[in-house]
């Protein structure tokens, strides 16, 4: 199995898929193989793919997006690794699509969460502030490099975001002092690493081939480097990666609890709140679509539903009564 997974990973890298997609696709291939008793995928075809995907929908009850990701991974395996086309999957049972409104915090709730973070962890506070202030995904924020920030213009660039697209989004000017301090700390770490013979950062393979000295240059370093050094399993080269997302996720979860907020709020809730509050301020849906990096405006339209008050924006007749207590007339 390991040789096949290595081939899968190499094929994904050759086509510039993100590291997270590579990990997810390889994980699905492993599960597919284990589900069928460790048979090699070359010995299987459409019936086995159908059976696995149906199992995900009916037994594991995964979401529609999860099942679609599993299907995409298997299609990639057969087309680009085994060099076989996948035919009709027959009566594939699809996972049920559920439309859920995103959890959104009010402005006061955002202020409370950020206040808790500011007191306990200034770096996590800065990251959470960027999630809300610039509408970033957590992975996008942690993946920021020095050259992505333009403090003078008040703009940051998200490179190779979801879907492999670059986009620009506003950089909150209120965060400029904190970002300058974070960059100062990151540069000290980088300079110490260089002095110790380290200092290289991981870059996409194509960029590193084009600019072989780039991994050691300051402008390519992470804005939020992790505390410990790492060794690249693929090259054996030592360097420093960005902060791990679980550190921020845990800090935000604790801040929500300490702020006394009962909503199921996560890091991504701050991005949802960014979009909703922009809509409340009168920005048009297309602008927000571009800032969020959504491919389809239909994805962004979900926030219009969040704005509606009550059931479909209808005001309850009870609220119009002058006296709604027991014994009141009307």
Q: Where are the domains of the chain?
A: 2-81, 99-312
Closest CA to 26 of 84, 79, 69: 69
2-81 CATH fold = DNA polymerase; domain 1 (1.10.150)
Catalytic residue of the set 190, 240, 271, 277: 271
The verdict on whether 162 is a catalytic residue reads: yes
Residue 239 · residue 225 · CB < 8 Å: no
The verdict on whether 13 is a catalytic residue reads: no
The verdict on whether 271 is a catalytic residue reads: yes
Q: In the prediction, which pLDDT does 99 show?
A: 66
Q: How many helices (H) and strands (E) does the chain have?
A: 14, 5
167-170/225-231 β-pairing: unpaired
pLDDT block averages, 10 residues each, the chain of length 330: 92 85 95 96 94 94 92 96 90 77 93 95 97 96 96 91 79 95 96 89 78 90 90 72 95 97 96 93 91 88 70 62 54
Catalytic residue of the set 137, 190, 240, 272: 137
d(CA 250, CA 264): 13
Closest CA to 167 of 192, 148, 182: 148
99-312 CATH fold = hpI Integrase; Chain A (1.10.443)
Q: In the prediction, which pLDDT does 199 show?
A: 84
d(CA 138, CA 144): 10
Catalytic residue of the set 13, 19, 27, 162: 162
Catalytic residue of the set 303, 305, 309, 315: 303
- What is the value of pTM for the model shown? 0.76
Q: In the prediction, which pLDDT does 51 show?
A: 94
Any residues with CB less than 8 A from the CB of 282 and at least 6 apart, and which? none
- Residue where the block lists tokens 């309850």: 316
Catalytic residue of the set 240, 242, 272, 294: 294
Domains 2-81 and 99-312 share a fold: no
Q: In the prediction, which pLDDT does 198 show?
A: 84
The verdict on whether 27 is a catalytic residue reads: no
Give pairs for 119-127: CB < 8 Å, separation 24+: 120/251, 120/254, 120/255, 121/251, 122/178, 123/182, 123/224, 123/243, 124/247, 124/248, 124/251, 124/252, 126/175, 126/178, 126/179, 126/182, 127/224, 127/243, 127/248
Which pair of structure tokens corresponds to residue 105? Answer: 């915090």
């Amino acid at each position: 199995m390991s040789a096949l997974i290595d081939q899968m990973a190499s094929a994904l890298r050759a086509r510039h898929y993100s590291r997270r997609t590579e990990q997810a696709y390889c994980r699905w291939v492993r599960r597919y193989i284990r589900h069928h008793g460790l048979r090699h995928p070359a010995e299987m075809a459409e019936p086995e793919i159908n059976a696995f995907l149906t199992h995900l929908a009916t037994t594991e009850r995964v979401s529609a997006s999860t099942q679609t990701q599993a299907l995409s991974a298997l299609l990639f395996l057969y087309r680009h690794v085994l060099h076989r086309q996948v035919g009709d999957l027959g009566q594939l049972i699809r996972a049920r699509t559920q439309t859920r409104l995103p959890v959104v915090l009010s402005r006061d709730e955002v202020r409370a969460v950020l206040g808790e973070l500011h007191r306990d962890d200034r770096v996590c506070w800065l990251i959470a502030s960027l999630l809300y202030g610039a509408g970033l995904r957590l992975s996008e924020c942690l993946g920021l490099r020095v050259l992505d920030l333009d403090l003078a213009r008040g703009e940051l660039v998200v490179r190779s975001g979801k879907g492999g697209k670059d986009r620009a989004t506003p950089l909150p000017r209120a965060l400029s002092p904190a970002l300058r301090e974070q960059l100062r700390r990151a540069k000290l770490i980088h300079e110490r690493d260089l002095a110790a013979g380290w200092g290289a950062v991981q870059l996409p393979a194509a960029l590193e081939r084009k600019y072989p000295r780039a991994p050691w240059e300051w402008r390519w370093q992470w804005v939020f480097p992790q505390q410990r050094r790492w060794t690249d399993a693929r090259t054996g080269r030592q360097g420093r990666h960005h902060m791990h997302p679980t550190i921020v996720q845990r800090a935000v979860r604790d801040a929500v609890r300490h702020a006394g907020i009962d909503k199921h709020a996560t890091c991504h809730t701050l991005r949802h709140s960014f979009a909703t509050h922009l809509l409340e301020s009168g920005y048009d849906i297309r602008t927000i679509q571009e800032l969020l990096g959504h491919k389809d405006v239909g994805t962004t339209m979900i926030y219009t539903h969040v704005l509606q008050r009550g059931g479909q924006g209808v005001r309850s007749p009870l609220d119009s009564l002058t006296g709604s207590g027991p014994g009141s007339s009307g």
